[in-house]
Structure 1
């Protein structure tokens, strides 16, 4: 049994994804408005408790040339505080282009994405988590 949360952390919203108990399939759960650290921590701690999560998988937005830019450092700083507040370990996944991929998937499913940025964030979080799940399985 596995319970891991995937996070797509942005300055306005945080996409949250979870996986099934077998660790095979990631799905978007919700989007949290990133209004304050306390608010985000409260919202995530409820999800962590409900799902009995044991790990956070966070998308790290490297620059296109693979460097850690300002945004990646900001995400890491935020994530370190979050992991401490939630008492959970963290691992990172390269999230370059996941939002683009999420939007393309939703368009392919004929789901309107223009107005629902939260839906894109949730889908991006699911893509991040799915990448980690797939990689973890292949390493076993």
Structure 2
């Protein structure tokens, strides 16, 4: 049986003003796995360098960034900041960026943690990772759906 090409691996980010949740896809491109929560530094360049190192470590071929569009689909001031950050990261890591609508992922992440028995006060340590995982899983599911339509 000939070797099948390895599916692309993605790094996903839930970018906030204090923390960045990070998730990565498995080697088969099927599931999203939480990686860590990066505490933001004063200098955004340090955050960008840390994320670029993670991209190399996990050998990703692209980055998925949660894009907080408004309920009407319009670009919010926060979305504009995140899009600028994502562009800078793509240039530094020399990887393509996929902006992915993250609407309600933080709310859903809090709900998942609550249902798993985590106290609300401890959510801040995990919620960004869970949100990044939800963003990435949604992206992966859509990629698979598109591939199914094409085949």
Shorter-chain-normalised TM-score: which range?
A: over 0.9
Structure 1 CA distance, aligned partners of 2:50 and 2:115? Answer: 31
Partner of 1:62: 69
Report the secondary structure of 2:129's partner residue. Answer: helix
Partner of 2:110: 103
Structure 2 CA distance, aligned partners of 1:112 and 1:20? Answer: 29
Rg larger for: 2
CA RMSD after TM alignment: 1.2
Structure 2 CA distance, aligned partners of 1:42 and 1:116? Answer: 26
**Structure 1-normalised TM-score?**
0.94
| Match runs of 1:1-140 below 5 Å | 1=6, 2-35=8-41, 36-140=43-147
Deviation at 1:65, TM superposition (A): 1.9
Consecutive unaligned residues in structure 1, runs of 5 or more: none
Consecutive unaligned residues in structure 2, runs of 5 or more: 1-5
Report the secondary structure of 2:126's partner residue. Answer: helix
**Could you list the per-position Cα deviations for residues 61-95 of structure 1 after superposition, in whole angstroms to 9, with x for gaps in the alignment?**
01122211101111101111111011110011110
- 1:13 touches 1:118 (CA, 8 Å); kept in 2? no
Deviation at 1:3, TM superposition (A): 1.2
- 4+ long deviations beyond 3 Å: none
